[in-house]
Amino acid sequence: MIEMQQVKKTYPNGVTALNGIDINIDPGEFVYLVGQSGAGKSTFIKLIFREEMASSGQIRVNNKDLLEMKWRDVPLLRREIGVVYQDFKLLPKMTVYENVAFALEVVEESPRQIRKRVMEVLDQVGLKNKARFIPDELSGGEQQRVAIARAMANYPKLLIADEPTGNLDPDTSWEIMKILEEINGTGTTIIMATHSKEIVNTIKRRVIAIEGGLIVRDQHRGEYGYEV
């Protein structure tokens, strides 16, 4: 699903965020990305959906070569990938329903299909009854559930989440993890950057540790491994 060979990323200001990444992630995996702030986790994530481009190396995602890919083909790639952020990134003036529908309207679905799919994904995250609310009327955990629903609207094969529980209290974080585990259970690959030792050490999955732009550890059912 994701193959990287000798991937390097140097930003225009000269900072090298990734310095030779080799990794394979298979369909259906659940992977935690751990590492201290500035390690390169967000850069790794951004390379996967071509938010940023690698400076050198090879990246293949869903059998697409991301370095060869033309700009006009980037939207097609992104349709296959759902993205969730720490700060939710919902549109504040739109309702929950509209925030999710928006993700489908850009791919020109029929109105009937849109309605059906929006209610389906809202049901999946337990928010069908809040479709008419706006983000400000929701708790942080609910807002993140909307963001997950939006990310899942197009049936992505891959869901990437950059510190999705970073702004949430522990109880709410577990709710979010339960939803992510359910999504992974249906076959969707998940990559999640996190600083939560509790989550990584409780729900044991593959752990990829990044330090100074390099993978320093890659363990099946790994531990968080950093003092926090």
Q: Residue numbers of the site for Mg ion (CB under 5 A)?
A: 41-42
Minimum separation from the CB atom of position 34 to ligand ADP (A): 9
From 7-15, 99-107, 169-177, 217-225, give the range in contact with ligand ADP by CB under 6 A. 7-15
Beta bridge partners of 206: 31
Residues 127-156 that bind ligand ADP (CB under 6 A): none
What is the token pair recorded at 156?
A: 């992505």
53 binds ligand ADP (CB under 6 A): no
Half-sphere exposure of 89 (CA within 13 A, CB side): 15
Given a contact cutoff of 8 angstroms between Cβ atoms, the answer to whether 61 and 81 are in contact is yes
From 30-38, 55-63, 74-82, 101-109, give the range in contact with ligand ADP by CB under 6 A. 30-38
The residue whose Cβ lies closest to Mg ion is 42
Minimum separation from the CB atom of position 128 to ligand ADP (A): 33
Minimum separation from the CB atom of position 86 to Mg ion (A): 8
Using DSSP's 3-state secondary structure scheme, residue 154 falls into coil
Beta bridge partners of 23: 4
Instruction: State the alpha helices, DSSP H only, in the chain.
Output: 41-48, 74-79, 96-105, 111-124, 140-152, 170-185, 197-202
Of these, 5, 11, 65, 76, which contacts ligand ADP (CB under 6 A)? Answer: 11
User: In whole angstroms, what is the distance from residue 218 CA to residue 228 CA?
Assistant: 20
- Interacting residues toward ligand ADP by CB under 6 A: 11, 13, 15, 17, 35, 37-43
